[in-house]
């Protein structure tokens, strides 16, 4: 397993011949509060070559568990939120899949990532062997209400993973604006 830092890339399919299916897991702990509570919602966006969502049918989250082409599926939570990606089924017009979480403002007020600890994203084989992991920094998150954890992206004929940790103070609306999602 490779531990990544923000901005680092890892070759997935080039270093694992025959890899055509991965499970992306995002996990975190939250500090409980009697005031605003950070209730995080995981989200995946399938993007075109311009970095925009292909369509609203190419989003995967709790209200849309499977992408239009069935290549990306939200498979629920346990220790962590998990999204299944069938790399060989991802359409050619999808150049990357971003993985993020946002703070649900309808759950006990507008919380932030300041109450989040031990946030991470991992990419594993379908059998559960961890390929890469990125532990997000817990620095200056008082105003962050959405966070892009990382992305799977095409590089020529291969798939790679990039660790990001990009925070938004504008929540899901800010992510939607940047990636062309209709809310």
- Please say if the pLDDT value at position 32 is more than 80: no
Query: With bands split at pLDDT 50, 70 and 90, how would you rate the model's confidence at 174?
Result: very high
Calculate ∠ Cα 13-18-20, nearest 5°: 70
Residue 68 belongs to domain with CATH number: 2.60.60.30
Kindly report, residue by residue over 57-93, the tens digit of the pLDDT: 999 998 899 999 999 999 876 567 999 999 999 999 9
Number of domains in the chain: 1
Q: Distance (Å, rounded) from C-alpha 149 to C-alpha 132? A: 13
What order of strands is seen across the sheet that includes strand 158-168? 9-11, 158-168, 146-155, 96-103, 40-47, 59-60
Kindly report, residue by residue over 104-146, the tens digit of the pLDDT: 876 555 678 888 888 999 999 999 999 999 999 877 788 899 9
pLDDT number for residue 80: 76
Regarding pTM above 0.95, the answer is no
Domain containing 49 equals 2-179
């Amino acid at each position: 397993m490779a531990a990544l830092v923000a901005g680092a890339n890892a070759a997935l399919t080039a270093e694992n011949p025959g890899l055509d299916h991965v499970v992306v897991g995002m996990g975190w702990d939250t500090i409980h509060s009697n005031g605003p509570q950070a209730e995080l919602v995981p989200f995946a966006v399938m993007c075109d070559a311009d970095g925009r969502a292909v369509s609203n049918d190419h989003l995967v989250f709790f209200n849309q568990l499977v992408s239009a082409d069935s290549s990306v599926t939200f498979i629920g939570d346990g220790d962590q939120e998990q999204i299944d990606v069938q790399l060989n089924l991802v359409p050619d017009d999808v150049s990357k899949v971003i993985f993020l979480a946002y703070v649900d403002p309808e759950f006990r007020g507008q919380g932030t990532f300041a109450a989040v600890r031990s946030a991470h994203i991992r990419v594993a084989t379908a059998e559960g062997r961890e390929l890469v992991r990125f532990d997000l920094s817990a620095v200056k998150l008082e105003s962050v209400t959405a966070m892009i954890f990382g992305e799977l992206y095409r590089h020529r004929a291969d798939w790679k993973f990039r660790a990001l940790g990009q925070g938004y103070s504008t929540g899901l609306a800010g992510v939607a604006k940047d990636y062309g999602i209709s809310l």
